[in-house]
Amino acid sequence: MALDWEQIVVGSKDPEALGRWWLQALEWVVVNDSPDEFEIQPAPGRTPGLLFVAVPDPKAAKNRLHIDLRPDDQAAEVERLLALGASKVDIGQGESHWVVLADPEGNEFCVLSSRRG
């Protein structure tokens, strides 16, 4: 028996708006834009993707699962993501080699140190 990792499901108060934010942040493509869900992937058929679905409850605490992103240039990516509407957050990480940001709905994610050659 084999398993393929298809997607991560993200609960959202506005799935399309949050999905479009991540679409810009990751520079992926839309593969499903229906009234109930918004899905993006690195390219059509390339998984895992992100599926945004509506949930009635607001985010109330630190994420139990989050995304780590590894950029070529950490400082440039942090600035680009902040310009798109991310915000810096302190979740108790202290001094670290990564930067913790939150998307427009407050979901934390990390921008790791730049790639090594």
The domains located in the chain, with CATH, are 6-56 (3.30.720.120), 63-117 (3.10.180.10)
CB atoms within 10 A of CB 63: 14
Confidence of residue 117 (pLDDT cuts 50, 70, 90): low
Per-residue model confidence (pLDDT) at position 40: 98
- pTM equals 0.89
Segments in the chain forming alpha helices (H): 15-26, 74-84
CB within 8 Å of 99: residues ≥ 6 apart = 74, 78, 88, 110, 111
Per-residue model confidence (pLDDT) at position 93: 73
Kindly state the tokens that stand for 96. 């670290």
Kindly state the tokens that stand for 42. 């690195």
